Structure 1
Amino acid sequence: MSLVRISRTLTCVVAAVTAAITLGAPVADAAPATLNNCTDISVPVSLDGGPRTSHIAGRYCVPTADPGTALQVLVPGATYDHSYWDFPGFGDRYSYVRHASRAGTATLAIDPIGVGESSKPPGWQVSATTAASTLHQVITAARNGRLGHRWDKIVLVGHSFGSLTAMQEVGTYHDVDGLLVSGASHAPGPGGILQIQTSVRPALHDPRTARSVPAGDYTYLSVPGARARAFYAPRDSDPAVVAADEASRVAGTIGVLATIPVFIPTTFEIDVPVLVANGRADNVFCAQGGGGSLTDCTDARTLYRSERPFFPEADLSTYVLPAAGHSMNLALNNQEFFERAQRWASAI
């Protein structure tokens, strides 16, 4: 790949992420959740290699009859917490976690550092490197049995910004058996970015997020109103779901922005099976979404050609969910994606 192309890609990714963000003893700390096979857990982590004084929160769901040997670790995108993977209501139709549970698959859906119930250090301290490092510590805890079960196979699953974090984690630490990238590509479009960027404001100025971030910290940001414009395809979404999604938005941090381009070189080092899955109408990351992306999501073959140069060492597969927008889990035809994801993960 030419240096010019890499430079252009870095520029696009920085812009996309800027818009999207501008927007121990873990089992002992666990609290029971509403389902008898799910637990809210807290995994102690270190931000700088020192004492583990911070924590990553997550929803840990393990089949009661037979936990199996494989765990999927789920990382949400910017302005989402773990509930993106277990979207409430609507008869569980939009819950990736419930679908995985019915297939007998264990999941751990996390709140990344600075998000939701996880520790919230000053926003400028929450870099891309910190996000990947703390995710690595969670995976290590799962490998070592610190979550109550020793997992032999771990598949890391990301969405949007969470996919960028997941790619950096895998390319840096090489500690998982497979990587599923959803809602992301290496060539975002400026039009889709602009639709998000116009909504950016400090989280302290958004009534929905103001009380969930550190007092006086203007480096936590929110994007109220962006979901309907940028995250959904109108013909493949339920307005009631869009409204519920908007009402559950959370804050992201500005500290990631200065360091996020470091994820790109790490994808060249990923050497495990990778599935890249996008909605065909994603207006940020797919050309067919109309936002100016250079990624061709016509079908799995064209997506493969677009993304293959960035994964030279990986066993790469691709998938396109017809008609869907950016937030694939919340599309009307999401079950097609859920089925494809489980088949791919179980074959690793």
Structure 2
Amino acid sequence: MTVLSRARALVPAAAVLLSLPFTAVSAVSDPGGCSDVKVPASLAPGLPKDQTIYGRLCLPPGHAPDVLQILVHGASYDHTYWDFPGFGGQYSYTRTQNSAGYATLAIDQLGVGRSSHPLSALATQLAGASTVHDVVTAARGGALGPSFDRVALVGHSFGSLTVWLEAATYADVDGVLVSGASHSLGALALAELGPHIRPAQLDPVTAAHVPAADLGYVSIPGARAPIFYYLPNADPAVVAQDEATRSEIPVGVGATIPVYIPATVGIKVPVLEVNGVEDKPFCVQGGGGSLTDCRSDATLHDSEAVFFSPEAHLETTVIPDAGHDLNLQRNARVFFDRATRWFQNHFPLR
């Protein structure tokens, strides 16, 4: 199947064009090796940096390494996806990477959590990529406190799409790791989401976080268990806590999904793609209508390699007994350890 025919089988849509620069950053340290940071950002090249991206910067004990992983969550999540509270840290990607010696910065994407909430239609994939670029620039320039010589992007779900777009557009990062994503988003999974969608103002969990007059911010209560998990390998208490802490979604993100599809061929740095074999939105085995074959590392590679250049040195991994939310399955550590090995191979600490 050709790239064009694969692309036509995916989600329809449109886009806009946007991106670029940075200014200064504010940071408030706490005793745990983590800091809250805020990065001024713009929606498009040449526009004022009138948006703010919030992030949680965590350093390994004793030193600031030269490698930073910028963690980008998916739709209906915020930065806490990467450091899921409680459960003895079992579901914390952040803690795993800090223990391995890497610095992490988990951000709230544009239109989510503690980051700015512009008009929902303006919070597109391209605008998200622009604001992530501003975060990368801040990290390299020392505006977060430490200065990082090597920066990699780590994404989940729709955050992976933003990561791919940012890396291809700006060529400003050294590596890309994505999870819960592929180049075929299943129409059946999207249709299953439909009954759950409602204005964020009408969801008591998200109502206080969105502009009162903007109905373009939505929430998807009740969607997590049936769509994001492989339930036979999930802790019901984790699923319940995840559901209770859902976040808002600006509609601009969903409306511009297809812009990432041709973009990935422009990525010229190492890429690791990791999916759960039962991923409903992005793997055929999940039953959500995706065309991506996640039976094995090799079949995932065969499905995805056509979308990348040789310079990406694409590596693929399939996690058994896991669905879309790899961080929150009982075997999350399998994904965390795979990510650590990839970083140690491509970004050994100096």
Corresponding residue to 1:59 among 56, 80, 99: 56
Q: Say whether the 8 Å CA contact 1:10–1:264 is kept in structure 2.
A: no
- TM-score using structure 1 length: 0.93
Q: Say whether the 8 Å CA contact 2:177–2:271 is kept in structure 1.
A: yes
Q: Say whether the 8 Å CA contact 1:155–1:345 is kept in structure 2.
A: no
Aligned residues: percent identity?
A: 52
Aligned to 2:238: 241
Determine whether 1:104 maps to 2:101. yes
Q: Say whether the 8 Å CA contact 1:111–1:117 is kept in structure 2.
A: yes
Report the residue type matching 2:229 in the other structure. Answer: Y
Aligned to 2:319: 321
Determine whether 1:344 maps to 2:342. yes
Report the residue type matching 1:272 in the other structure. Answer: V
- Between the aligned partners of 2:252 and 2:289, the Cα distance in structure 1 is 26
Q: CA RMSD in A?
A: 1.4
- CA shift, 1:121, in A, is 0.9
Aligned to 2:20: none
- CA shift, 1:10, in A, is 4.7
Aligned to 2:150: 153
After alignment, is 235-244 or 121-130 more displaced?
121-130
Aligned to 2:209: 212
- Between the aligned partners of 2:213 and 2:190, the Cα distance in structure 1 is 27
Aligned to 1:38: 34
Q: Say whether the 8 Å CA contact 2:3–2:306 is kept in structure 1.
A: no
Q: Say whether the 8 Å CA contact 1:125–1:255 is kept in structure 2.
A: yes
- CA shift, 1:234, in A, is 1.1
- CA shift, 1:153, in A, is 1.0
- TM-score using structure 2 length: 0.92
- Between the aligned partners of 1:123 and 1:106, the Cα distance in structure 2 is 31
Aligned to 2:193: 196
SS at match of 2:253: coil
- CA shift, 1:101, in A, is 1.0
- CA shift, 1:104, in A, is 1.1
- CA shift, 1:137, in A, is 0.5
SS at match of 2:9: helix
Identify unmatched segments of 5+ residues in structure 1.
16-23
- CA shift, 1:241, in A, is 0.1
| 1:183-229 alpha-carbon deviations (Å, 9 max, x no partner) | 01111222222222220111011111111101111010100000011
SS at match of 1:256: helix
Aligned to 1:6: 7
Relative to structure 1, the CA distance from residue 290 to residue 258 in structure 2 (aligned partners, 3 Å threshold; closer, same or farther) is closer
SS at match of 1:276: strand
Trace 1:89-238 onto structure 2 (pairs within 5 A): 89-238=86-235
- Between the aligned partners of 2:4 and 2:288, the Cα distance in structure 1 is 25
- Between the aligned partners of 2:6 and 2:90, the Cα distance in structure 1 is 40
Relative to structure 1, the CA distance from residue 114 to residue 235 in structure 2 (aligned partners, 3 Å threshold; closer, same or farther) is same
- Between the aligned partners of 1:257 and 1:196, the Cα distance in structure 2 is 12
- Between the aligned partners of 1:31 and 1:47, the Cα distance in structure 2 is 25
SS at match of 1:338: helix
Aligned to 2:17: none
Aligned to 2:252: 255
Give the paired residue count: 335
- CA shift, 1:304, in A, is 0.4
Determine whether 1:288 maps to 2:289. no
- Between the aligned partners of 1:250 and 1:149, the Cα distance in structure 2 is 30
- CA shift, 1:181, in A, is 1.1
Trace 1:14-25 onto structure 2 (pairs within 5 A): 14=13, 24-25=23-24
- CA shift, 1:6, in A, is 2.6
SS at match of 1:109: strand
Report the residue type matching 1:285 in the other structure. Answer: F
| 1:68-118 alpha-carbon deviations (Å, 9 max, x no partner) | 210000000000000000100001110100111111110000001111000
| 1:139-161 alpha-carbon deviations (Å, 9 max, x no partner) | 01101111111111111000000
